[in-house]
Each structure stands twice: as C-alpha cells, then as structure tokens.
Amino acid sequence: MKLSLLTLFCVFIISIFLVACGAKETSSSPEVGNPSRGKELYNKTVLGPRAAPGCITCHSLEPGVILVGPSHAGIASRADSIVQGLSAEEYLRQSIISPDAHVKEGFFPGIMYQKYEEDLTEQEIQDLVAYMMALK
C-alpha cells in the first residue's frame, strides 16, 4: 500500500513536469516572420496604439523615389552589405528598432520615427523584416 501511493505520487510529479516542459517549449519557440502580415503592416498609414506614422508615409517601393526616407525597392538584395557584421535580417531589424544606429548616406538622423520597438510587438517587427526580405 505504502509503495503504490509513492508510485502514484511519482507519476503525478512526472506528469506535472512533462506538462510544464511542453508548455514552455511552445511559448519559447522562436517567432517566425510572416511576410504577408508584414506587407499589410507596411502598407498601413498609421501603426500601433499611439498611431505612429506608417512605413509607406515615408518610404516608396518605386526605385529611386524619395518621399521622406529612401526607396525600399530592392532593399533585400543590398541589406546584407550595408553594415559590416550584420546580416540582411539583422540590418533591417536594426533599421526599424533603432533607426539612428546607421543613417543612410544623404539622409539625416532623427527623421525616421524612433519608437517602433515600443509600439510594435516582437511578432510585428519580425513580420515587417520578413516582408522586406522579399523586396529583391
């Protein structure tokens, strides 16, 4: 009797442990950017809870067309060679969350909206990067 209670207790503890591990695995799985969701975000005129200006209010997808910021035509093809040591995805991510870390030649710091990291979710940032990675 004593032994079987102990066995039951062990099974109980082990199952709690397994459930906890399973839950942790799903919640910590790396987010994957969704390009079509990113395209939707990119084309909005306002973003996030504070109605931050959307990307298309300053960026064109037409080659050479400067609105406020540079054109994003073909950005995926050059993004990996802009800042040494940053992959294309890393550069695009940095450009969104800390725009002044690297300022494109011919443009000024402080012009691009600076607080997307506070206004967008991690998933939304990944989605935007995934969309821009398709602009070849």
Q: Which residues bind ligand HEC (CB under 6 A)?
A: 53, 55, 57-59, 68-70, 75, 82, 92, 95-96, 99, 103-104, 107, 111-113, 116, 128
Tokens of 68: 């406020």
Using only C-alpha atoms, the chain has a radius of gyration, in whole angstroms, of 22
**The dihedral formed by the CA atoms of 58, 114, 77 and 45, expressed in degrees to the nearest 10:** -40
- Nearer to ligand HEC by C-beta: 23 or 33? 33
- Nearer to ligand HEC by C-beta: 17 or 107? 107
- Nearer to ligand HEC by C-beta: 26 or 85? 85
Report in angstroms how near the CB of residue 16 gets to ligand HEC at its nearest: 42
| Rounded distance between C-alpha atoms, residue 126 and residue 123, angstroms | 5
